[in-house]
Structure formats: structure tokens, C-alpha cells
Amino acid sequence: MKYQVDQNGFYGNYGGAFIPEALQPIIGQLQKEYIDIINQADFQAEMQQLLKDYVGRPTPLYFAENLSKKYNTKVYLKREDLCHTGAHKINNTIGQILLAKRLGKHKIVAETGAGQHGVATATVCALMGMECIVFMGALDIERQAPNVARMKMLGAEVRPAMSGAKTLKEAVDEALLYWIENPDDTFYLIGSAVGPHPYPDMVSRFQSVISEEIRKQLLEKEGRETPDYVVACVGGGSNAVGAFYHFLEDETVNLVVAEGGGRSIEELETAATSFVGKDGVLHGSKTLFMQDENGEPLEAYSISAGLDYPGFGPLYSHMKELGRAEFFAVMDNEAMQAGLNLCKDEGIIPAIESSHALAILDKKQFKETDIVVINLSGRGDKDLDNYRSYFNF
Ligand SMILES: *Cc1c(COP(=O)(O)O)cnc(C)c1O
């Protein structure tokens, strides 16, 4: 299994758990127990029930006839935009909160950048009656007022991170500090396939329901379980690994990653990690990320708040090294146009993150007989202001 973690949490040369001494005991416990807990029958039963009745799974695999005609290939959209709360993130927060419950924790701490993960976390905390503290950069709190309001309505406490640039990095630092100080009753709920082992693998397993469903749905619609291509956008990599998971070891399935190219790769106004990243340790694992000459993470930029992360999860660094996926930097303007096209062609308003994946149809030639599955990670309601000011509606 080339694309699964080893006992130490490494994907080849990447991953691991580079954490402060104070976190060793709690993360060590998690590393030992997570797979056993996830595989227990009652855990699976409770998770499957919630995914079905609360999240609304299985999400449709929609044959996009108009897009298919336009691009002369077979395009399917995996409709994660139809999940409760509007994106795939809830698949993971459901899994992790059930795990936290089994570990006897009653408080959840999380960090959020744009607020989407904060909302998905606050949602499941409300559902499970758990206390929820979300750290958010003070600047992000100003920029993302609707999501802050959602979190508060859902009963979460939003704590501003006041240091440094007052964005995601500072929120991560403060959330970790809080966890170190409250290890006994608190669980740290990470929102993407990043962080120290076992988080990348744990998040991948919880999101893998996406590709599990794709296989079943393709078998029904096409008589075979595997597509020729799976396309997804990557911020930290959770929706993409969910869509890729059950195809990772089958190299007849081509995997395509759409990164936030931003405004300019040369000027480093970008989030295209695979193009400008270097090896180092970010958020507790070894991976590629954008860094200065001292190895400090640089501020990433993308028009999409969910993609402007300076690195990606260790699995992607490994896939890049082995050539398992093809990586594209999708520029802001290309993504915005692809998002608008989906509205006009199919009557679906996508999240700007997902628009990056859709833009691959303009950047890469597919054959008429190819089956191309694009993971539509989220819906565009949250992005209306952004679309509006971009297109002057
Ligand atoms: C958060 C988010 C992303 C990016 O995160 P990943 O972990 O890379 O999936 C992509 N799409 C949507 C809709 C999101 O909310």
C-alpha cells in the first residue's frame, strides 16, 4: 500500500508527528486507539446513521450532460455541495466528534480561517451537546462576519487570536496552546488532511466515504467502479483525499489536483504549494509548504478562502514526489469564470474552491470516452459577495 501511512504516520518521506513534548501523551493515545475505535461496530453504526439522516448522504453522482457536450467527454459531478452545511467538511467533523465522545472528552477546540471548518465543528458540537471553542484570527473575524454569526448561533465560543498577522497560523498556535493546557477533557478537531499523525490519516478515512460512494454509483451508471480521472481542489487536501481514497492504489485512475494559483505564481501571490513549496515541518508534519529563507511559512493567497493555505497535507507531497497525481495551479480568473460557467451550463452555483476543480476542464484535454469525476466540494452561497464584486452583478 504505497499511499497509506506507515506505523509512524509517514507517507514515504512525508508526514510524521513533530509535536511539543507536552502533546506527546494525548496524541500518543490517539495514535494508539483511533483505528480500533473507528472500526468498532457501534461506532460505524452511529456514524453511518448520522451521515445518512443528518448529513444527507449518499450525495448524488450527477451526470452533467451539458458540460459533457461542451467539453466532449463524460463529466460527472460528485455533489458534496448538497451536504448539510454546504460542503464536505461535515463528513470529517461527524467522525471526529464521535471519536472524541468515545475517548471521554466533552469539550472541542478547533481553529478556523475562513470560518467554514468552525461552522462544521460548531454544528456537530450542538448536535452532540459538547462545549465548543473556536480560535480564529482577529483579522479573519472581521473579514468573515457571517460565519462568526453562524458559529455563535450554533452555541460556539469564538476566541480571537490577537498575535502576529491575526489569521489562521495564529489561530492554530492558540488552539494548540489551549489543548496543551486542557488535555484531559478536550479534543482538538482538525479540519483538513493536515497536522501531526494520526490526523491526516484519520481525516482521510472519514472523508473516504466520498470515493466509496463514487465506486458504487459509477457501477450503477456506467457498469464499472473506476473512472478515468478524478479531479478535486486542494487546500489542505480533505475533499480531494475523500474523492481519491479508494482509487489511490489503482494507477489506472488518474488523479488531478487543482491548487489555488492566486494572482501570480512568480510574485508568490499564490497558494500553489506544489509549484513553490519546499520541504519542512508545518503544523506538526513534514510536507511541502511556501516558506521564507528561514523556513517560516509565508502567507498564501487565493481568491478562495478555503484554498489560501501555505502548504498541503503530507499525502500530497508524497503523491507529488511519486508522480501519482497531476498538479495544476488554477488562477483566480480561471476559477471565477469556471464557476460562472457552471451556473449557466448546469444551474449549480459552486463554492469558489470547487470552481478551481471545474476549471480543469478548460486546462486539460480529455477523450470523448473518458469518465471524468469532478468533486464539487461545496456550494457557492457563502461566496456570493465575492462573485458579485468580481463580476459586478
Ligand atoms: C474548506 C474547503 C475546501 C478546502 O479544504 P480541503 O481540506 O482541501 O478540502 C474546499 N472546498 C470547500 C467548499 C471548502 O469549504
Pair (116, 38) in one structural domain: yes
pLDDT at 164: 85
CATH number of the CATH domain containing 275? 3.40.50.1100
Give first-to-last CA distance, the chain, whole Å. Answer: 49
Q: What is the pLDDT of residue 208?
A: 98
Catalytic residue list contains 111: yes
pLDDT computed for residue 62 by the predictor: 99
Residues with a CB atom less than 6 Å from ligand 1: 87, 89, 116, 192, 233-240, 306-307, 351, 353-354, 377-378
User: Is position 12 within any domain?
Assistant: no
- C-alpha cell at position 370: 473518458
Q: What tens-digit pLDDT sequence spans the chain (393 residues)?
A: 999 999 999 999 999 999 999 999 999 999 999 999 999 999 999 999 999 999 999 999 999 999 999 999 999 999 999 999 999 999 999 999 999 999 999 999 999 998 999 999 999 999 999 999 999 999 999 988 999 999 999 999 999 999 888 888 889 889 999 999 999 999 999 999 999 999 999 999 999 999 999 999 999 999 999 999 999 999 999 999 999 999 999 999 999 999 999 999 999 999 999 999 999 999 999 999 999 999 999 999 999 999 999 999 999 999 999 999 999 999 999 999 999 999 999 999 999 999 999 999 999 999 999 999 999 999 999 999 999 999 999
| pTM given for the model | 0.98
In a domain, 222, yes or no: yes
188, 287: one domain: no
Count of the separate structural domains present in the chain? 2
For residue 356, tell me if it sits in a domain.
yes
In a domain, 77, yes or no: yes
Place of cell 501519482: 324
| Cell numbers describing residue 73 | 467527454
Q: Is the domain of 240 the same as that of 291?
A: yes
3-state secondary structure 3-55: CCCCCCCEECCEECCCCCHHHHHHHHHHHHHHHHHHHCHHHHHHHHHHHHHHH
Q: Are residues 120 and 192 in the same domain?
A: yes
Do 164 and 295 sit in the same domain of this protein? no
Give the atom of ligand 1 at the shortest distance from the alpha carbon of 117.
1
| Ligand 1 atom at shortest distance from the alpha carbon of 80 | 13
Q: Are residues 306 and 225 in the same domain?
A: yes
Whether 355 is catalytic: no
User: Which residues 6+ apart lie within 8 Å of 56 measured at CB?
Assistant: 82, 83, 84
Class of residue 42 by CB neighbours under 10 A (exposed 0-12, middle 13-18, buried 19+): exposed
The atom of ligand 1 lying closest to the CA of 87 is 13
Q: Whose CA is nearest to atom 5 of ligand 1?
A: 235
Considering the domain architecture, whether residues 252 and 358 belong to the same structural domain is answered as yes
Identify the pLDDT of residue 143: 85
Annotated catalytic residue: which of 68, 74, 105, 111? 111
Please check whether residues 223 and 151 belong to one and the same domain: no
**Domain shared by 63 and 169, yes or no:** no
Judge if 231 and 316 occupy the same domain. yes
On whether residue 328 sits in a domain, the answer given is: yes
Residues 137, 78, single domain; the answer is no
- Is 351 a member of any domain? yes
In sequence order, the 6+-apart residues with CB closer than 8 A to the CB of 211 are: 230, 242, 243, 244, 245, 246, 247
> Residue with the nearest Cα to atom 13 of ligand 1?
378
pLDDT at 167: 85
Nearest to 113 by CA among 90, 139, 95: 139
Where among 203, 229, 263 does a domain terminate? 203
Contacts of 127 (CB under 8 A, 6+ apart): 50, 54, 97
Domain range holding 339? 56-87+208-391
Is residue 246 located within the same domain as residue 372? Answer: yes
Q: What pLDDT does residue 112 have?
A: 94
User: From atom 1 of ligand 1, which residue's Cα is the shortest distance away?
Assistant: 306
Provide the pLDDT for residue 187: 98
For 130, the grid coordinates are 459538547
How confident is the model at residue 297, as a pLDDT? 93
Catalytic annotation on 377?
yes
Q: Which of 145, 180, 203 is the last residue of a domain?
A: 203
- Asked if 86 and 150 count as a contact pair (C-beta separation under 8 A), the reply is no
Residue 317 within a domain: yes
CA 306 – ligand 1 centroid, Å: 5
